[in-house]
């Protein structure tokens, strides 16, 4: 029997939803299953309404499912809010006072926790009951708890094992229609969220200085980077604001190390002047913008794809930049590493555009993460300069790329200015200098375009194509599978290397279909507008979602079918 089960664990912030979710994820991963889990929470530390929703499958899954088989309701409000998401036969496991409803399975979670030793073990009781219902062997759970609590001191392990057993046994007579036999071989790849993938990608790209100001949903990247600094010499600076963060990063890069910052839309707004300075001074930097709905504070802990046009155009006047929008943690890792490489090579800023869904959701990543063997640095020393004492930082070259010497590393004196400048980096208002410098900076365009990889295509020969970018990749692919099951000739195109825009490759990818639809998490179809601007091709329609929650494949299928009917 194919396994495809969704478990939703809901309660107040601070109740330990995350712990139950983590335990389930670890057990499933160890059992060789695939998972994809989303985190939904409000902008508060205690109270409110949060959930962790995990989809468990024997096949790779890259999207959440909109219907729930098992609801773990840590309070009544969770049950009231989400009971309608239960599939027929689905159950809600919870503490029940009085007579249970038909779809409720009463488990005295808190009483069992007290019995195990402490109320705090309620999460382990709940996880135990969940795994019991799913038919998981208890030994598997036991081994995960040992990994987690052994060496923690005191009676933590013993207490949690007892809580796990009590929870597990409490449901042994219950019937759960989707209980299955747990035999799937070795663990598949590793469990990773986008935040950690980006942090690892930064290390793979030889990042040595990172500066940031806390902002959801980007903060996780820097928290991960900080925790990795026990293995890598790394300077992670929490700056006074985003303006300082990006400027510190430009300073660090000027001095010769690879550097990055990460933020969300509001912080990116503050960084735009600095972004322009990186453009003007041709200083390589990497900026991650983890999108959330806006404008202003918007929905701080939720997801969106509303900053595409913004990051492509951010800061005054015109200058080159790279923009990448990865679809999975594995791509986020690779693209972050590549962003460092390409920023360095072309002396331009590179932006990695992600969102709350990608940053905070757990995915199984099967492709091994690998760092380049050698970091190629595009800098020159005195020995590579004909006459170091006459070094000119912005020497005109046919490629537009001037040899980059580092300050205080030789005889070559490095002058950099955010004002328009002459070849030697000194301020200049001369017409020829202005024209030469704009043309020099723009001359990098053809080579930068060559670096951009073609969109990823799936059933590309189809009559109808869905076109998307960023984290909606998984949901779009799955919706294509479902449309095809219904006899519709559908495929999809995912654009991850977004800017500079390869109009030729996008045109080619869309040339054979009868019609294409853009699928995006914004309200004005920004990618659709970009494609039209760059290729002249007009989307037949769009499936747009801007409620701050991640895409479910089902919504896309329904959206497309509405056009076809």
Partner 1 sequence: MAVRDYLRERFFPHMWCPGCGHGTVLNNLLRAIENLKIEKNDIVMVSGIGCSARISGYVDFHTLHTIHGRALAFATGVKMSRPDLNLIVPMGDGDALAIGGNHFIHAARRNIDITAIIMNNRIYGMTGGQFSPLTGYGKLATTAPYSNIDHDFDAVSLATAAGASFVARTTTYHVKQMADIFQKAILHKGFSVVEVLTQCPTYFGRKNRAGSAAEMVENYKKSTTPIGSKASQENSDLIERGIFIEKDLPEYCGEYDKIIQKAMKGK
Interface residues toward partner 1, by CB under 8 A? 208-209, 211, 229-231, 233-235, 237, 239-241, 243-245, 247-257, 259, 273-274, 277, 281, 407-408, 410-411, 413-419, 425-427
- In the complex with partner 1, the residue whose CB is nearer, 238 or 507, is 238
DSSP-derived 3-state class of residue 428: coil
Give the separation between CA 548 and CA 303, rounded to whole angstroms. 5
* CB of residue 258 to partner 1, shortest distance in Å: 10
Give the separation between CA 521 and CA 468, rounded to whole angstroms. 9
- In the complex with partner 1, the residue whose CB is nearer, 108 or 256, is 256
DSSP-derived 3-state class of residue 226: helix
* CB of residue 228 to partner 1, shortest distance in Å: 9
* CB of residue 66 to partner 1, shortest distance in Å: 43
* CB of residue 388 to partner 1, shortest distance in Å: 11
At residue 270's C-alpha, the angle toward residues 267 and 271, to 5°, is 90
For residue 135, what are its two tokens? 């038919």
How far is residue 412 from each of residues 384, 387, 409, measured CA to CA in Å? 11, 8, 8
- In the complex with partner 1, the residue whose CB is nearer, 71 or 288, is 288
* CB of residue 307 to partner 1, shortest distance in Å: 22
- In the complex with partner 1, the residue whose CB is nearer, 170 or 283, is 283
- In the complex with partner 1, the residue whose CB is nearer, 174 or 416, is 416
- In the complex with partner 1, the residue whose CB is nearer, 211 or 332, is 211
Chain-centroid distance, C-alpha 453: 19
Listed residue (33, 44, 45, 43) closest to 2, CA to CA: 33
* CB of residue 249 to partner 1, shortest distance in Å: 6
* CB of residue 395 to partner 1, shortest distance in Å: 17
Give the separation between CA 257 and CA 465, rounded to whole angstroms. 43
DSSP-derived 3-state class of residue 472: helix
How far is residue 202 from each of residues 272, 274, 294, 331, 371, measured CA to CA in Å? 21, 20, 27, 13, 10
For residue 258, what are its two tokens? 């690879």
For residue 404, what are its two tokens? 């980059």
Q: Is 493 exposed, middle or buried (0-12, 13-18, 19+ CB in 10 A)?
A: buried
- In the complex with partner 1, the residue whose CB is nearer, 259 or 465, is 259
What is the DSSP track for 302-316?
A: S-----HHHHHH-SS
Residue 115 near residue 167 (C-beta atoms within 8 A) = no
* CB of residue 234 to partner 1, shortest distance in Å: 8
- In the complex with partner 1, the residue whose CB is nearer, 281 or 357, is 281
- In the complex with partner 1, the residue whose CB is nearer, 247 or 328, is 247
CB under 8 Å, gap of 24 or more: what pairs does 526-535 form?
526/305, 526/306, 526/308, 526/309, 527/308, 527/467, 527/468, 527/469, 527/495, 528/467, 529/309, 530/308, 530/309, 530/312, 530/501, 531/467, 531/506, 534/501, 534/503, 534/506, 535/503, 535/506, 535/507, 535/510
* CB of residue 374 to partner 1, shortest distance in Å: 21
Write down the residue that tokens 């002058």 correspond to: 415
- In the complex with partner 1, the residue whose CB is nearer, 3 or 406, is 406
* CB of residue 276 to partner 1, shortest distance in Å: 8
């Amino acid at each position: 029997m194919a396994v495809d089960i969704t478990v939703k664990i809901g309660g107040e912030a601070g109740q330990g939803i995350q712990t139950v979710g983590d335990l389930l994820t670890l057990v499933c991963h160890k059992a060789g299953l695939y998972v994809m889990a989303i985190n939904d929470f409000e902008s508060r530390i205690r109270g409110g309404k949060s959930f962790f929703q995990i989809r468990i499958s024997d096949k790779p899954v890259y999207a959440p499912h909109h219907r729930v088989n098992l609801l773990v309701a840590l309070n009544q409000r969770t049950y009231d809010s989400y009971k309608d998401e239960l599939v027929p036969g689905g159950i809600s496991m919870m503490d029940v006072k009085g007579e249970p409803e038909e779809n409720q399975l009463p488990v005295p979670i808190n009483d069992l926790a007290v019995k195990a030793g402490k109320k705090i073990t309620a999460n382990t009781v709940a996880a135990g009951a969940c795994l019991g219902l799913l038919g998981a062997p208890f030994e598997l759970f036991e081994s995960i708890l040992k990994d987690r609590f052994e060496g923690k001191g005191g009676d933590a392990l013993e207490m949690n094992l007892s809580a796990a057993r009590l929870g597990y046994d409490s449901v042994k007579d219950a019937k759960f229609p989707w209980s299955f036999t747990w035999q799937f071989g070795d663990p598949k790849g590793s469990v990773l969220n986008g935040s950690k993938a980006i942090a690892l990608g930064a290390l793979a790209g030889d990042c040595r200085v990172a500066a940031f100001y806390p902002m959801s949903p980007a903060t996780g990247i820097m928290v991960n980077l900080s925790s990795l600094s026990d293995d890598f010499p790394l300077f992670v600076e929490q700056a006074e604001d985003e303006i300082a963060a990006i400027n510190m990063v430009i300073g660090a890069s000027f001095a010769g190390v690879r550097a990055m910052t990460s933020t969300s839309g509001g912080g990116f707004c503050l960084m735009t002047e600095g972004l322009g300075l990186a453009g003007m001074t041709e200083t390589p930097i990497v900026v991650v913008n983890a999108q959330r709905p806006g404008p202003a504070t918007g929905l701080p802990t939720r997801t969106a794809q509303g900053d595409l046009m913004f990051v492509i155009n951010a800061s005054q006047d015109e200058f080159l930049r790279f923009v990448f929008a990865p679809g999975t943690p594995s791509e986020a890792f690779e693209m972050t590493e590549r962003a460092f490489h390409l920023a360095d090579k072309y002396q331009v800023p590179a932006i990695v555009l992600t969102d709350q869904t990608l940053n905070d959701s757990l995915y199984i990543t099967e492709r091994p993460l690998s760092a380049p063997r050698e970091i190629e640095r595009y800098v020159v020393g005195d020995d590579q300069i004909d006459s170091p004492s006459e070094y000119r930082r912005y020497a005109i070259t046919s490629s537009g790329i001037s040899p980059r010497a580092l300050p205080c590393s030789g005889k070559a004196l490095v002058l950099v200015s955010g004002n328009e400048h002459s070849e030697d980096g000194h301020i200049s208002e001369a017409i020829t200098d202005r024209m030469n410098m704009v043309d020099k900076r723009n001359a990098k365009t053809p080579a930068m375009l060559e670096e951009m990889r073609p969109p990823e295509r799936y059933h590309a020969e189809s009559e109808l194509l869905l076109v998307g970018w960023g984290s909606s990749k998984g949901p779009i692919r799955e919706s294509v599978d479902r449309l095809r099951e219904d006899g519709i000739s559908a495929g999809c195109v995912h654009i991850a290397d977004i800017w500079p825009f390869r109009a030729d490759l996008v045109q080619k990818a869309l040339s054979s279909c009868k019609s294409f639809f853009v699928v995006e998490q914004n309200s004005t179809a920004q990618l659709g507008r970009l494609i039209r601007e760059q290729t002249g091709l007009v989307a037949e329609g769009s499936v747009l979602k801007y409620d701050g929650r991640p895409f479910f494949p089902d919504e896309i299928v329904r959206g497309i079918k509405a056009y076809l009917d």
